[in-house]
Amino acid sequence: MRDRVCLVTGATNGIGYETALGLARRGARVAIVGRDAEKAQACAARIRAAVPGAAVDAHVADLSAQAEIRRLAGALRDAYPRLDVLVNNAGAIFDRRTLTIDGIERTWALDHLGYVLLTLELLDTLKASAAAGGKPRIVNVASAAHYRGHIDFGDIEGARRYGAMRAYAQAKLGNVLFTYALARRLKDSGITVNALHPGVINTGFARNTGGLFGTAWSLMRPFLSSPDKGAETSLHVASAPELDGVTGRYFSHRRPKPSSAESRDEAVQERVWALSLRQIGRSG
């Protein structure tokens, strides 16, 4: 990974932080994205302290807000003429239905549309890497929760029926559907696109979620795997030489694995692709 430029979102704690740290240890220049400027700078400093000589840059954005994503993408394009690895990792679960500044349900906006918009905004920098002889990779951190997910096109934002896990599973299914649709479109570009399940990990996930789900997660937390363990699959998909050219796959425990039947339905992939583009105000 020496001299490669890697971007990791949601990198101020948990799996995202460990992924960024692992990429820095492999010699990459790492750009991290977090919502809080102080935390992002502190995490960049921690990585530099752990990896002397590492090049780590901190960027700040609320990835549930489309204007913030576009602003961030512009800054990234200015800072990095090429991008070799994009790890879409930022996400959360919310026990109450709320809308973003764009009027979109927050889980879908952050956990799914955030991946879509940032990726499309940075495609030219990824293509620049391919044109220079690189082998750029897009890595979408999904979840095994996608097996429980269903795309409810009649109520995609849970206006009629909302549940925290239902919304989260649907968004993670969206990640896998997006991965397959984008991989098809980039088939001959030199850019690979893959999704993964990092494992059930003890991170800040669901820490601010109340109700039965929040209580259950709190009770489970001491028995979950550590964030560095959770980052293993993300790091493998982002950097393993044997995955050069491997695209349109779903990984778990560092191995390819069949994703859900709905995620493999090309008609559903295309419907979600079209819907997502409408919601972010893009065409094509």
Distance CA 149, CA 2 (A): 38
The 5-9 sheet, strands edge to edge: 56-60, 29-34, 5-9, 85-88, 137-141, 192-197, 249-252, 255-256
Task: Give Dmax (Cα) for the chain.
Answer: 52
Distance CA 186, CA 110 (A): 23
Which of 80, 168, 180, 250 is catalytic? The answer is 168
> Catalytic site residue 168?
yes
Distance CA 81, CA 37 (A): 23
Q: At what angle do helices 164-185 and 211-220 cross, to 10 degrees?
A: 80
The alpha carbon of 85 is separated from its chain's Cα centroid by a whole number of angstroms, namely 12
Which DSSP category does 223 fall into? G
The residues annotated with a catalytic role in the active site are: 168
